[in-house]
Chains A and B, each alone.
Chain A
C-alpha cells in the first residue's frame, strides 16, 4: 500500500517569499505523484504531476516540484508567493493506472500568505 505524509498542516509565508510545501511518500513500486490545490468549498485543481519522466516538474501558477527517489520526497515550491496562492494543498500518490486510478491523499497543508 502507498501513503503520503505532508509535513506541516499550516504554512505561513510573506507575500513575495518562497513557498515550500513538503510531501513524502511511501510506495513499494514506482509512484505517480500529484499536487492539487483546493479553494474553500471547491473541488480540486491539478497543479502538477510526476509520471516518471523528468524529475523536476513544472506546473501551473508558477509552482514546481522535484521528485527525489532517494529521499522519497516530492516537495512543492514557488519562488514568490502571491496572495491568491492562499489555499489548501494536497499531495497525492497513485501506483496504478498511469496515475489515473483512485488516489491516496495526504492530510493537506493550509497555505497562509501574509501581506
Chain B
C-alpha cells in the first residue's frame, strides 16, 4: 500500500514550451502533496506544498508563475513548468501525505525533465 505514481517518468521538451507532470496517490487519499526538485548529484529541494482545494505554498525563491501547481482532488496534484528553459532541466519528485495517517508521507518515483 501507500503507492505514489508520477507521470511521465521522463519527458523531453523544447525551450519555451510547457510541460505538465502528474503526481497520484494510488491507494490512499492525500490532503497534502509536496513537490521537490533535484539537480544531478545534489539533494532534494522543497519547491512547494500543495493542499487539496487551495492554493499551493511556494518556498522562497521558487517562481509560482513558472511552476504552476494544481491539487484538484485528494489523489492528484499536477506541476506545470511553463515556458521551460534548459535550466529547468531537473528531476522532479513529489511526495504525498496520507489523510488517514497524517504522520506518514510517501515519495513518487520522480520525473526526469530535459529541456532542449
Are B103 and A99 interface neighbours, CB within 8 A?
yes
Are B109 and A42 interface neighbours, CB within 8 A?
yes
How large, as a class, is the contact surface on chain B?
20 to 34
Could you say which of B6, B32, B112 has the most chain A C-beta atoms within 10 Å of its C-beta? B32
> Complex Cα distance A44/B34, Å?
13
A43 at the interface (CB under 8 A from B): yes
> Complex Cα distance A42/B10, Å?
11
Number of A-B contacts defined by CB within 8 Å = 56
Are A101 and B44 interface neighbours, CB within 8 A?
no
A105 at the interface (CB under 8 A from B): yes
Are B110 and A100 interface neighbours, CB within 8 A?
no
How many residues of chain A are within 8 Å of chain B by beta carbon?
A: 21
Are B43 and A105 interface neighbours, CB within 8 A?
yes
Are B105 and A100 interface neighbours, CB within 8 A?
yes
Are B107 and A44 interface neighbours, CB within 8 A?
yes
Q: Which B residues between 87 and 116 are near A, CB-CB below 8 angstroms?
A: 91, 93, 95, 97-98, 102-110, 112
Contacts of A101 in B (CB 8 A): 32, 49, 97
Closest-CB distance, A48 to chain B (whole angstroms):
13
Contacts of B93 in A (CB 8 A): 43-44
Q: B1-36 CB contact bits vs A (8 Å, 1 = yes)?
A: 000101000000000000000000000000010100
Q: Which B residues between 38 and 56 are near A, CB-CB below 8 angstroms?
A: 41-46, 49
> Complex Cα distance A49/B98, Å?
16
Given A41-B110, A107-B43, 10 other A-B residues pairs in contact with their CB atoms under 8 A: A36-B107, A42-B110, A43-B4, A43-B6, A43-B108, A43-B110, A45-B107, A101-B97, A102-B49, A103-B34
- Pairs A–B under 8 Å by Cβ, sample size 13: A41-B110, A42-B109, A43-B4, A43-B107, A44-B44, A44-B107, A46-B107, A100-B104, A102-B34, A102-B59, A103-B46, A108-B41, A108-B42
The list of the 9 closest CB pairs from A to B, nearest first, reads: A98-B103, A43-B109, A44-B107, A102-B46, A43-B107, A105-B43, A107-B43, A100-B105, A105-B44
